[in-house]
Amino acid sequence: MKKIIYSIVTLSLLVFSCTNDDDTFMSAEPLGAYENGILVIGEGGPSSVSYVSNDFATTENQVYFNVNDENLGVYLQSLGFNDDKAYIVVDAGTITVVNRYTFEKLGTISTGLMTPRFIAFNGDTAYVSDWADPFDSTDDYVAVVDLNSNTVTSTIAVTEGPEQVLVNANKLYVSHKGGYNVNNVISVINTSDSTLETITVNDVPDEMFIDNQGHLLVLNAGANQSWLSPPVETEASITRINLSDNSIITNLEFPAGQHPSLMTYQNGMAYYILNNQVFGLEDAATVLPTTPMFSILTGYSYGLSVRENQLFVSDASFTGNSTLLVYDLTTGAETGAFTTGVGASKIYFN
The answer to whether 236 and 222 are in contact (CB under 8 A) is yes
Q: Which residue's CB is nearer to other proteins, number 132 or number 172?
A: 132
Q: Does 136 bind other proteins (CB under 8 A)?
A: yes
Among 37, 39, 61, 271, binds other proteins (CB under 8 A): 61
Q: Does 22 bind other proteins (CB under 8 A)?
A: yes
Using the rule CB under 8 A, give the single segment among 150-158, 193-201, 226-234, 264-272 that binds other proteins: 226-234
Site for other proteins in 66-105 (CB under 8 A): 70-74, 90, 92-93
Among 3, 16, 287, 308, binds other proteins (CB under 8 A): 16
The answer to whether 214 and 243 are in contact (CB under 8 A) is yes
Local structure of 12: helix, strand or coil: helix
Proportion of the chain in helix, strand, coil states, percent, rounded to 5? 5, 50, 45
The answer to whether 152 and 113 are in contact (CB under 8 A) is yes
Among 193, 228, 287, 291, binds other proteins (CB under 8 A): 228
Q: Does 226 bind other proteins (CB under 8 A)?
A: yes
Q: Which residue's CB is nearer to other proteins, number 190 or number 295?
A: 295
Q: Which residue's CB is nearer to other proteins, number 167 or number 278?
A: 278
Q: Does 27 bind other proteins (CB under 8 A)?
A: yes
Q: Does 286 bind other proteins (CB under 8 A)?
A: no
CB of 61 to other proteins, least distance (A): 8
CA distances from 145 to 165, 247, 259 (A): 14, 29, 34
Site for other proteins in 233-262 (CB under 8 A): 259, 261
Rounded-to-integer distance, Cα 147 and Cα 158, Å:
22
Q: How many CA atoms lie within 13 A of 7 on its CB side?
A: 4
DSSP line for 312-327: EEEE--SSSEEEEEEE
Q: Which residue's CB is nearer to other proteins, number 9 or number 33?
A: 9
Does the bond joining 230 to the residue before it have cis omega, within 30 degrees of 0?
yes
Does the bond joining 46 to the residue before it have cis omega, within 30 degrees of 0?
yes
DSSP line for 190-201: ETTT--EEEEE-
CB of 130 to other proteins, least distance (A): 14
For the chain, where are the alpha helices, taking DSSP H only? 2-16, 63-68
Using the rule CB under 8 A, give the single segment among 52-60, 161-169, 208-216, 222-230 that binds other proteins: 222-230
Site for other proteins in 161-190 (CB under 8 A): none
CB of 259 to other proteins, least distance (A): 6
Among 119, 281, 304, 342, binds other proteins (CB under 8 A): 342
Q: What's 56's DSSP letter? A: S
Site for other proteins in 292-321 (CB under 8 A): 300, 302, 316-321
CA dihedral 267, 272, 278, 279 (to 10 degrees): -70
Point out which residues bind other proteins (CB under 8 A): 1-2, 4-5, 8-9, 11-13, 15-18, 20-22, 24-25, 27, 45-46, 48, 61-62, 65, 70-74, 90, 92-93, 133-136, 221, 224-229, 259, 261, 275-276, 300, 302, 316-321, 341-342
